[in-house]
Structures are given as C-alpha cells and as structure tokens.
Amino acid sequence: MPFDLAIALKRGKLRLDYAFRTEKGGLTALFGPSGAGKTSLLDAIAGLARPSAGHILVQDTILFDKARRIDLRPEQRRCGYVFQDLRLFPHRSVRDNLLYGWRLAPPAQRWMDLDTALGFLGIGHLLDRSPATLSGGEAQRVAIGRALLSGPRFLLMDEPLASVDAERREEILTVIERIRDELALPILYVSHDRAEVDRLADRVIDIPARG
Amino acid sequence: MTALSPEEWQVLLLSLKVSGVAMAAILPIAFALAWVLARWRFPGKVLLDALVHLPLVLPPVVTGWLLLIAFGPAGPLGRFFAEGFGLTFIFRWTGAALAAAVMALPLMVRAMRLSIEAVDRRLESAARSLGAGRWRTFATITLPLAMPGVLAGLVLGLARSIGEFGATITFASNIPGETQTLPLAIYSALQMPGSEWQVTRLAVLSILVSLAALVASEWLARRSGSRYGQAGAAHHAL
C-alpha cells in the first residue's frame, strides 16, 4: 500500500486530523483550499513536523507510529520533497544542488544518475549557474531534479506550479506527467487548483477547510 | 630609519601572539554562545545574554579587576587552571591573551548570532529531507551561510583584542616582553619625557597592524561571499 496514514497534528490549540489510504501507486492529489493544512501534512510525512498521534506508512514501511514509538528522522525517510518555496541552496551551484542528496545516498539506493535527470528535465545548460539567477520554471525543474536524484521511495510535491509563470506551466505539467507515467514512484501532490488536479491525479483526496 | 628595533619587534610579535592566541581560543566559545543565543530557548537566556555583553558595557578596568578575582591565584578559575593545566595568568602573556579574548567576546557573539539567526531554517529542513543528518546539515548548509558573519565577528574581535588596554593593564600588568602589547608600549613611552619619536613609531606600527587586519578581513569576506548572492550581507550589516 503506497500511503497509509492516520495522524493528528496540533496547530496552536487546533487539532487537525488526517486519514487516508491509497491502494495503488501513481499520483494522489491532496486537494483543498489554502490554509487547510496540506503543507503541514506533507511536513509530517517528511518528518519535519511531529504528529501528536497516529501512524504514517509509506510502501509498507513505518515512518511514524506514536503507539509503537517509531519516528524516523527526516534523513531516514527517503522522501523526495519538492517544497512549494523550492529551497534551493543559495550558496551552491545548480550542479551541487542536484547532487546534494545523490552524494549522500548509498549507491544501491540511487536509481537515477545526473545525466538522466538532466535529459529528463532539460536543465543540462543550467549546471554551473547559481540558483539566484534561475527563472521560476528553471528553479522548479532543478528542485524536482534534486528530489529525484536523492533516490527517494516516494515524492511529495507541494504546489509545484505556484512559483511558475503562466507560460511555463505547461512545461512543468508535462514533466510531472512524465514522472507519474515513467517512474514507478508514488506521488502525493498538493494543490488548490481543480483543473490541475483533474489533469494530473489518479485519485483525489479532499482536505476540507478548517477553523 | 625604518627598520624596527629589537624592542619594537618584541612588542609587535607579542601583540600578534596575544591576539592570535586570544582569537583561536575564544572563537569556538563565541560561536557556541552565538549558537545557543540564536537557536535555543531556555530560562535564564536573558541572563546569559547580559553576561556575554558585560565586557562591552563595563569599564575595562572593572573587567580586568573581575578577571583578577576569578583567575588570580586565589580565584576559583585561577586555581582550576593552575592545578588542572599548570596554566597561570597573572603577570603573564597568557593573562594578556585572556583579557583580550574576554573583551573581544561580546562583539564576536553579536556578529555571529545575527548571521546564525539570518540562516533560513527551511534550507536546513530541505537538507535533512535529502538525507543529511544534523551535523552534515550544519557543516554544509548552516555554517557556510553564516560564514560572512563569523568572519565579521572574527575581525571585530581581532581589532578589539589588538587594541585592548584597560583590562590587560589591570589584570596582566605592563611587563615588557611578557604582557606589554602595542597599546601598553605606547602608554609606557608616553610616560617618558622626550620619547615623541618612539611614540610616533609605535603608533604608526599599530595603525599598520590594524590596516592589515582590515584588508585581510575584506579579502576573506569577499572570498566567502562571492560564492552566492548575499555577498557578505551580515558583514555589511555591521
């Protein structure tokens, strides 16, 4: 089972509950309005926020289980997290950004090499640039490449079209479709855009508004 | 008549030794304090912050007197270092280095703390999620991004330690060849009638040392800053 999750997250005094399971891989969209806590949910799956209760299983591996006191550190979870704000390392070149996770991964866990990623994403000409000089679409592709190269077992994508201008949307959408169709990688995809979700998602999980 | 006399060489080399040792010893402590003040939350943090800043706001002669009490032969820290490491401070160059280090500490902590606080923690979580443990994240993300501020702190501290006078003369005294650094030598020369030329030479020497430190710091800041957009942001913020 790609994703099996039931957790409670505290946000101030508010308690947010999330629960869902996916029977098959492919792209699962988490769809809901801004402020519904979708990013908090991804952070919890990545190990960057700690749920107050519940469990998180991905591909039948327990990442978090309050009752069993299991809480894998972020670096042990092998998740490819494409952040909404990208978070490219400003003091490193595009090449070093792309290879950051790749160099840390044991060779057996890497399933993509740099050349493949460059071709896949069309970013070979950007290697020696600094992230500060990239356009929104270029930076987005580098962020996706960095996540793929780290040898993840699943992908978390948080509004990957948010930092991309209208003309480049199609380009990124195509890249995401290719990842969905050509790589056997379960994807959790956060979006508040119905059209985007309809086009990309194999299934949709609604995250209702809160508060 | 430009060559330095043996006495002037002695003063210069002693000054460099005292400042160099002071910086080497205080840098890790200053960074650790900056880290704790920037990242940790604990009761008594305001107190620690005030304590670190004390040498900045106290008259240096009071700091020197406090050092005398703490690190003197009868002082608790003085006994600890004497018995544990055979290290004494009074009337010795090590005392001058200790005074210089303590006086430099607040400036260093301030600069480093600012630069640590300026590091975007979201970048650290990105590194974690890409497979880097805490230490690797620190070494590859946090430290390089904070480096301009660390260097700025080092330069401020170095400048402060080279110029240190009040706490040094109070704590370590003014002994030629042992604790008489450049400012103390200038002070001594000023006490002697007819020594204008000697004072001038020492003052020029002191200016040259400070200029060299400044140029070196600019060079270092440029080197560490040019690798990314925020070239020495923390450096210039000071």
Instruction: Give the model confidence (pLDDT) of A99-114 as tens digits.
Output: 999 999 999 999 999 9
pLDDT of A191 reads 94
| Predicted ipTM > 0.90 | yes
pLDDT at residue A17 is higher than 50: yes
Q: For residue B168, give its domain range.
A: 6-237
Pure H helices in A79-203: 94-104, 114-121, 136-149, 166-182, 194-200
Residue A47 in any domain: the answer is: yes
Q: What is the pLDDT of residue A211?
A: 56
Q: How confident is the model at residue A36 (pLDDT cuts 50, 70, 90)?
A: confident
Indicate the DSSP class of residue A107: G
pLDDT at B234: 41
Q: Which residues of chain B have pLDDT under 70?
A: 1, 224-238
pLDDT at A136 exceeding the cut of 70:
yes
In Å, how far are A156, A205, B204 from A190, measured between CA atoms? 8, 10, 66
Question: Left (φ > 0), alpha (ψ -120 to 50) or beta: where does B202 sit?
Answer: alpha
- Output the domain CATH number for residue A56: 3.40.50.300
Domain annotation covers residue B1 = no
Residue (of A146, A153, A159) closest to A120 by Cα position: A146
User: Does residue A82 contact residue A155 with C-beta atoms inside 8 Å?
Assistant: yes
Chain B CB within 8 Å of residue A74 CB: yes
Q: Do B129 and A89 touch (CB under 8 A)?
A: no
What is the distance between the alpha carbons of residues B207 and A207, in angstroms, rounded to a whole number? 67
| In a domain? residue A211 | no
Q: Which residues of A touch B131 (CB under 8 A)?
A: 75, 78, 101, 104-105, 150
Residue B48 belongs to a domain: yes
pLDDT, residue B236, reads 42
Q: Which domain holds residue A109?
A: 3-206
A110: CB partners within 8 A, 6+ apart: A102, A149, A151
Q: pLDDT band for position A14 (50/70/90)?
A: confident
Position A162 confidence tier, pLDDT thresholds 50, 70, 90: confident
- Whether B201 maps to a domain, the answer reads yes
Contact yes or no for B133 and A48 at CB 8 A: no
Overall domain count for chain A: 1
How many structural domains comprise chain B?
1
- The answer to whether A101 faces chain B, any CB pair under 8 Å, is yes
Q: Residue B226: what pLDDT?
A: 53
Indicate which CATH number applies to the domain containing B205.
Answer: 1.10.3720.10
Decide if A104 and B136 are in contact by the 8 Å CB cutoff: yes
